[in-house]
Structure 1
Amino acid sequence: MIHIISTGGTIEGLEYDDPNKKGVSNGISIQDLLQISGNEEKYCLDKILDKDSRFINQEDRITIANTITSSTHSKILLTHGTITMVETAKYLGSLELDKTIILTGAFILGTQPNTDAPDNLKFAIASFENLNSGVYIAMNNTVLPWYNAKKNVSKNRFEPL
């Protein structure tokens, strides 16, 4: 079983303009995206944050890590905004947790017709089959380990360092 931990962000179709506000547009749930992607995997889902990743701080990363550590599952899928996804992956990777942790998200709002959200979720879930314990970013058919990932803002993708 995969434990999906949701933190908010573009994947859920939420736009933010202030760290103290909720999303300012109608969102879509991770459950809805899983259904759209045709996912048949067994999973449990916990929504622990509702933030644009620009506003995720060290306290939030500790909350994420504590949720992962307390999970009874060895496969963790963390939905996360792309702006600080690498920073959270590096933090989790430095903890050397004995679990397979995949971070994924979306570059296009989950509520938009051309969103990459369902495809990224489906790809991330399928990636568990080929990965050992560790922390990875799985986006747009690319999997990168936490220590060799950067976001290329101009090309709007993740790539090796």
Structure 2
Amino acid sequence: MKVSIITTGGTIEGLDYSNELSQPLTVGVSIKDLLSRIESDTSYEVIPLFSKDSRFISEEDLKTLVRRIKTIENNKILITHGTYTMVETARYLGRLNLNKTIILTGAFILGTEENTDADSNLKFAISQFKEQKTGVFIAMHQSVFNWENVRKNIEKNKFETLLSM
């Protein structure tokens, strides 16, 4: 199995945006470095698209993301993304019915930190390509959410289902 990984920035890449500016305060870690730390029989193609705090992803950035997705022949696409607006991006992509399996993942703890959740979220998200059919999903902390039925609970700092389906 081959997965095309589009990188867009965020905490998973160890980028610290705590100054609330669009430019990170720290140098991050590459997704390729994170991939080297997890065990998987999956092959990858890493496609850096941009490196932003997701709060600063614009409509034009989303259009660029969609154009890139459409040019990828592979139908298994993982997007590494900041958690602030991950749900909004998932909804944007889900409404387009792109006829691919698209999974978004990220991290709550900087990818450069020793106790990061980046590795486990990345590994889990990749494993979900064997489980999920065509559509758009968020995979975080051993849970998968459909784009139509997810929210980020800011108080609990986790993603959760909106309603029982």
Read off the aligned partner of 1:63 and give its amino acid letter: T
* 1:139 partnered with 2:128: no
Q: Residue 71 of structure 1 aligns with which residue?
A: 72
Structure 1 residues 109-118 or 36-45, which shifts more?
Answer: 36-45
The 5 A counterparts of 1:29-108 are 29-108=30-109
Q: Distance in 1 between matches of 2:29 and 2:133?
A: 30
Residue segments in structure 1 that go unaligned for 5+ positions in a row: none
Structure 2 SS opposite 1:59: helix
Between the two proteins, what is the percent identity of the paired residues?
Answer: 53
Task: Show the counterpart of 2:122.
Answer: 121
Cα RMSD, aligned residues only: 0.8
Residue 38 of structure 1 deviates from its aligned partner by 2.2
In structure 2, C-alpha distance between the alignment counterparts of 1:49 and 1:15, rounded to whole Å: 15
Task: Give 5+ residue unaligned stretches, structure 2.
Answer: none
Shift of residue 26, structure 1, vs aligned partner: 2.1
Q: How far apart, CA to CA, are the structure 2 residues paired with 1:55 and 1:156?
A: 20
| C-alpha distance in 2 between matches for 1:14 and 1:134 | 28
Cα offset, 1:15, TM superposition: 1.2
Q: What is the number of equivalent residue pairs in this alignment?
A: 159
Match of 1:155 in 2: 156
Secondary structure of residue in 1 paired with 2:102: strand
* Structure 1: distance between partners of 2:16 and 2:113: 12
Shift of 1:8: 0.5
Structure 2 Cα separation of the partners of residues 60 and 134 of structure 1: 20
Residue 117 of structure 2 aligns with an amino acid whose one-letter code is D
Q: Deviations over 1:36-91 (max 9, x none)?
A: 12233101011001101010111111111111111011000000000000000000
Could you tell me the TM-score, scaled by structure 1's length?
0.96
Bigger share in helix: 1
SS at 1:122 equivalent: helix
Runs of 4+ in 1 over 3 A off after TM superposition: none
